């Protein structure tokens, strides 16, 4: 296990070095929150890729693939569909050039929409951060059995909080370049080695159920849709993504980065599912069968042992998975901290605050939200379930009104408020009301009813209220 410890230690030191190197460049609010709007397309590609593919894919998606095979790609496919539409949103988002999604909501709608947006982001992003802590804790436990998964989560949380607080968006983005390159290279190299270890592709197919290689597998179409929609809609409204676009050097850089992001996401998510499927053919029983979310890291440790070079590849794969978890945790912890600072502290409490005061409060918020995310992490039983819950809150509450801001001139402020409130309320309350509903409805995920409620409020209230003014629409026109 010494090799794995060396690889992880090297990664930690490298990431710390990158983070500290950016510290001296952080002097203003814009430097901390949006990297001084200076990120080129190359950096944007990797920070977008690293922030999107984290424990939701590496643990939740892998768990899904272990159980259902390639049908797990319905979850990733939702993100791909969202990415195709984001190509047209990216330049508009950079042109708007604010700091957060609630900035956008107030500019297009009103202050109430801003506040409700902050609440939805806080619930969603701390939930996403929480299962990154679980993922990192699992990996540390696999490498160091004397460290429990819970203690590992504490260690990962402390690590992420410190890294995120140091230098803000600039630190996060440039660490993501290192992490993205490492993860992309090692995962692509690891897949053929793992297939060979499993006895070849024909043996993998012979070992697993035939449904593992079918489009829907053993899922119904509605179940597939319940995986597809939350991911697609989270992608379309993802504040972390918009903050990256706000950080771009130019509209052209934002558009170019989206192309690279699409290519990288399709490749990496397909490779992740394939590694999990092949790993499931090798390890059908034992510890990982009880905790299938660990299949990627477990395979890297136990299947890459034939030669020293292969063992090194396995160690690098574990390190890449760990680094991706760290990257996603950084991004989703940093994003809601910017909301509390920009949308509450600066907007309502201390509009005249100096840059040094804003930077101090920003770092305090990172620590506070990191602790809240850790508390949530200690209550998680399923990463897949938690990820879909988090995606659904955001998908139903915010994505419809964000898209309407750019593409539907008739959307009104009152409709946006009603839409955000309805989407959040249905998602949070769904598990409380389903026990009193018919079994056919109770078995459904919250995404469909929550999204329906949100859309009905958005369209109906818009049609019965006064249209927005020309000045409200101007920043969002292409």
CA dist list (Å): 27 to 30, 167, 335, 359: 8, 10, 19, 8
- Model pLDDT, residue 439: 79
Distance CA 339, CA 366 (A): 11
| Contact present, 58 and 325 (Cβ < 8 Å) | yes
Residue 246 reports pLDDT greater than 70: no
Phi, psi of 358 (to 5 degrees): -65, -40
Q: What is the mean pLDDT of residues 131-139?
A: 87
Distance CA 92, CA 182 (A): 31
Look at 58-67, 412-421, 440-449 and tell me which has the smallest mean pLDDT.
440-449
Q: What is the mean pLDDT of residues 262-285?
A: 91
The rounded mean pLDDT for the chain is: 83
Q: Tell me, which fold does domain 2-24+39-97+121-392 have in CATH?
A: Sodium/glucose cotransporter (1.20.1730)
Look at 15-19, 197-201, 360-364, 368-372 and tell me which has the smallest mean pLDDT.
15-19
Distance CA 370, CA 389 (A): 19
Q: What is the mean pLDDT of residues 194-221?
A: 93
Residue 253 reports pLDDT greater than 80: no
DSSP class per residue in 325-381 = HHHHHHHHHHHHHHIIIIIIIIIII-TT--HHHHHHHHHHHHHHHHHHHHHHHTT-S
Residue 22 reports pLDDT greater than 70: no
Of 274-278, 282-286, 347-351, 448-452, the range with the highest mean pLDDT is 274-278
pLDDT digits (tens, 9 = 90+) for 103-123: 778 888 988 988 888 888 888
Tokens of 225: 């849709």
Note the pTM of the prediction, 2 decimals. 0.78
Q: What is the mean pLDDT of residues 353-374?
A: 87
pLDDT band of residue 260 (cuts 50, 70, 90) is: confident
| Contact present, 355 and 331 (Cβ < 8 Å) | no
Phi, psi of 248 (to 5 degrees): -65, 150
Distance CA 42, CA 253 (A): 8
Phi, psi of 39 (to 5 degrees): -75, 125
- Model pLDDT, residue 291: 85
Tokens of 62: 């892998």
Distance CA 242, CA 108 (A): 15
| Contact present, 191 and 308 (Cβ < 8 Å) | no
| Contact present, 152 and 133 (Cβ < 8 Å) | no
Distance CA 189, CA 199 (A): 17
Q: Measuring CA to CA, which residue among 461, 384, 472 is closest to residue 421?
A: 461
CA dist list (Å): 262 to 70, 220, 235, 477: 19, 27, 12, 24
- Model pLDDT, residue 229: 87
pLDDT digits (tens, 9 = 90+) for 147-195: 898 999 999 999 888 877 775 555 566 677 777 788 888 999 999 999 9
């Amino acid at each position: 296990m010494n090799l794995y410890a060396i690889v992880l230690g090297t990664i930690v030191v490298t990431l710390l070095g990158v983070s500290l190197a950016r510290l001296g460049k952080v002097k203003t609010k814009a430097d901390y929150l949006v990297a001084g709007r200076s990120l080129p397309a190359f950096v944007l590609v990797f920070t977008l890729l690293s922030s999107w593919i984290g424990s939701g894919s590496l643990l939740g998606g892998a768990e899904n693939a272990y159980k259902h095979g390639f049908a797990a790609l319905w979850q990733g496919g939702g993100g791909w569909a969202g990415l195709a539409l984001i190509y047209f949103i990216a330049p508009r988002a950079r042109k708007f050039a604010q700091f957060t999604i609630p900035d956008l909501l107030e500019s297009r709608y009103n202050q109430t929409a801003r506040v409700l947006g902050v609440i939805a982001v806080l619930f969603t992003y701390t939930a996403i951060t929480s299962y990154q802590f679980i993922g990192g804790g699992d990996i540390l436990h696999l490498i160091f059995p004397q460290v429990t998964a819970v203690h590992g989560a504490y260690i990962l949380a402390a690590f992420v909080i410190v890294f995120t607080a140091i230098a803000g968006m600039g630190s996060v983005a440039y660490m993501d370049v290192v992490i993205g390159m490492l993860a992309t290279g090692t995962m692509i190299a690891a897949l053929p080695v793992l297939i060979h270890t499993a006895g070849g592709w024909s043996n993998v197919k012979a070992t697993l159920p035939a449904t593992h290689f079918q489009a829907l597998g053993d899922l119904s179409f509605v179940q597939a849709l319940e995986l597809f929609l939350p991911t697609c809609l989270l992608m379309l409204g993802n504040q972390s993504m918009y903050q990256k676009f706000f950080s771009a050097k130019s509209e052209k850089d934002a558009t170019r980065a989206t192309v690279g992001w699409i290519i990288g996401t399709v490749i990496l998510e397909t490779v992740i599912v394939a590694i999990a499927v092949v790993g499931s053919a090798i390890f059908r029983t034992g510890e990982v069968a009880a905790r299938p979310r660990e299949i990627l890291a477990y395979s890297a440790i136990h299947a890459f042992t034939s030669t020293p070079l292969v063992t090194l590849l396995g160690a690098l794969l574990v390190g890449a998975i760990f680094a991706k978890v760290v990257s996603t945790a950084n991004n989703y912890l940093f994003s809601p901290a910017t909301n509390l600072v920009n949308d509450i502290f600066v907007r309502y409490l201390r509009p005249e605050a100096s840059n040094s005061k804003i930077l101090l409060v920003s770092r305090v918020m990172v620590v506070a939200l990191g602790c809240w995310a850790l508390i949530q992490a200690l209550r998680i039983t399923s990463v897949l379930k938690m990820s879909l819950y988090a995606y659904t809150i955001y998908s139903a509450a915010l994505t419809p009104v964000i898209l309407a801001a750019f593409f539907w001139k008739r959307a009104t402020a009152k409709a946006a408020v009603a839409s955000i409130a309805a989407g959040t309320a249905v998602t949070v309350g769904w598990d409380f009301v389903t026990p009193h509903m018919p079994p056919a409805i109770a078995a459904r995920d919250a995404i469909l009813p929550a999204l329906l409620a949100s859309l009905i409020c958005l369209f109906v209230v818009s049609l019965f209220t006064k249209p927005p003014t020309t000045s409200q629409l101007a920043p969002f026109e292409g």
